[in-house]
Amino acid sequence: MGYHLSDRGRTALGNLYRHIGQLNGTGNVHKLFSVDPTAEQRLEDMQREQVGFLDRINVESVRDLIGEVIGLYTEDFIARRTSSAQLPRRPRYVGGMQDRKYQLYETEFDTNLPWAKIDAWSKFKDFPARYAAHVAISIALSRISIGWHGTHAAAHSNPETSPNGEDMNIGWLQKLRIEKPSHVMGRALVNDQAVGDDQPIHIHANADYKNVDALAYDLIAGMPSWARNSTEHVVVVSQDLVDEKYFPMINRPLSGTIDGGKATSDEVTYDVIMSRKQIGGRPAAIVPKFPDGTMFITPLKNLSIYWQEGSRRRFIRDEPENKVALADYNSINEGYVIEDTDFAVLAENITFTDPNAPAE
């Protein structure tokens, strides 16, 4: 026999439906509805609260599916003087306008919750808030994974062949490979884009780079002088490139999980871990979902996710035919942007092998 939802669980589920309906001004959450603008912003805010990395980058609403990059990374010099009252003063935009386009793609963030889990969580009086946080975390981590791994936007995505969202959107790293290939190391050029075969970067006593610091210094040296001198650069590295001396994992506070338990790994999964040591003279960081063998240097506020105002759609329903008590369908149009590619450099396919060692 199948699982039957308890009376307490059914009451909690009904309260959840009413709560979501009230927030969005709809009496029926079981039909497709547009998320209320206030609720839409609340969802965005909750994602930033639950997953700290999103609070360190830009998550901005835009009106159009295709448009000019906003240029949120601040212009560093706006001072002027005019010598005559007859000469017009010409205010400068405080961002970094570039003749570059963004494009948004529809993304579906659909989740489900089995009856047994609803029964387990129904004992909590704040069940709607716990569920909202659960959904926010799932969406936020999916967004971040697509940002690092996304290479294209397929008409029909395949999570089996693209488990990290490679086919969901064009993420930040792919943007740099396409828009500024001269700032990318570790990949061959194809049609003036750094999207070709792997070209391993060796870190070894017998290689060009003896350690990760040397590689970071070389990457930064490849930036234009005005970008190179920024004090806001962060060296984002994958865990496999650093050891315990850079990122000590002890004495990390416990944090609560959705079902009332505690986990020491939440901070690693959800937030940015800053090292007490520097790499290449810049602060080093480990961020969620970052690919192995990779180093990316940029101010975090140089990274953006654009989402289209009013594009968020949602509906929720029971699906007993799929043995699901709660199926929650969410969709939104969004895209990924590097605000100023001059301020971003990437090295990938990094290995600690000896380049001179004989092939096995």
Strands 350-351, 201-202: pairing kind: parallel
Domain ranges in the chain? 7-75+94-351
For residue 244, what pLDDT is reported? 66
Strands 184-185, 345-347: pairing kind: parallel
Instruction: Give the Cα separation of 165 and 147 in Å (integer).
Output: 9
For residue 95, what pLDDT is reported? 55
Strands 234-237, 282-286: pairing kind: parallel
The stretches in the chain having pLDDT less than 50 are 249-268
For residue 328, what pLDDT is reported? 94
Q: Which residues contact 64 (CB under 8 A, 6 or more apart)?
A: 308
Angle between helices 7-24 and 127-149 (to 10 degrees): 70
Strands 58-62, 303-308: pairing kind: parallel
Q: Decide if 149 contacts 166 (C-beta within 8 A).
A: yes
Sign of CA dihedral 288, 291, 293, 294: negative
- E strand intervals along the chain: 33-34, 58-62, 66-68, 101-103, 105-108, 111-113, 184-185, 201-202, 234-237, 255-256, 262-263, 273-279, 282-286, 295-298, 303-308, 313-319, 324-338, 345-347, 350-351
Instruction: Give the Cα separation of 359 and 355 in Å (integer).
Output: 9
Q: Decide if 200 contacts 208 (C-beta within 8 A).
A: no
For residue 216, what pLDDT is reported? 97
pTM: 0.89
For residue 319, what pLDDT is reported? 83
Q: Which residues contact 358 (CB under 8 A, 6 or more apart)?
A: none
For residue 86, what pLDDT is reported? 67
What b-and-e string marks burial along 157-177, b requiring 16 or more CB atoms within 10 Å of the CB?
A: beeeebebbbbbbbbbbbbbb
- The CATH class of the 7-75+94-351 domain is alpha beta
